[in-house]
Amino acid sequence: MPLPPLTDTARQEALRKAVARRRERAEILHEIRSGRASLQWVLERDDEAAGRIYTRRLLEALPSIGKIRSLKIMKELGIAESRRVQGLGHRQRERLLELFPPQAEQATEAPTASQI
């Protein structure tokens, strides 16, 4: 069934919301890359922004993990390439945290809005 046609105003509002969501996901990944946030912090979040990140992209944001290594890890853990963080099972989350335990110097709590 096709989507109903949107008015120009509704389309612009939908685009604004989509850009804001993408920006929020990018900020989360940036926090991981910079070391200000840990994998545990992302996996424990219960919001849409963290949940909609592809697991592959999340792993690639970790230090010294590239495309090949992230795919290998996901295959070993039985995680589909298209799986998002919100779709990970309890055991898959536990095994990821075993592989990538939070470091003492990494933050395990959410960065404040001023830090993002």
For 16-99, give the CATH class.
mainly alpha
> Which pairs count as long-range contacts for 46-53, CB under 8 Å and 24+ apart, including other chains?
48/21, 48/86, 49/21, 49/24, 49/25, 50/25, 50/85, 50/86, 51/84, 51/85, 51/86, 52/21, 52/25, 52/84, 52/85, 52/86, 53/25, 53/28, 53/29, 53/84, 53/85
Q: pTM to 2 decimals?
A: 0.79
Question: Do the Cβ atoms of 88 and 79 come closer than 8 Å?
Answer: yes
Question: Do the Cβ atoms of 29 and 53 come closer than 8 Å?
Answer: yes
pLDDT grade for 5, boundaries at 50, 70 and 90: confident
- pLDDT computed for residue 43 by the predictor: 93
- The domain limits of the chain are 16-99
Q: What is the pLDDT of residues 51-105, one digit of tens each?
A: 999 999 999 999 889 999 999 999 999 999 999 999 999 999 999 999 998 774 4
Q: What is the pLDDT of residues 9-48, one digit of tens each?
A: 999 999 999 999 999 999 999 999 998 999 999 999 989 9
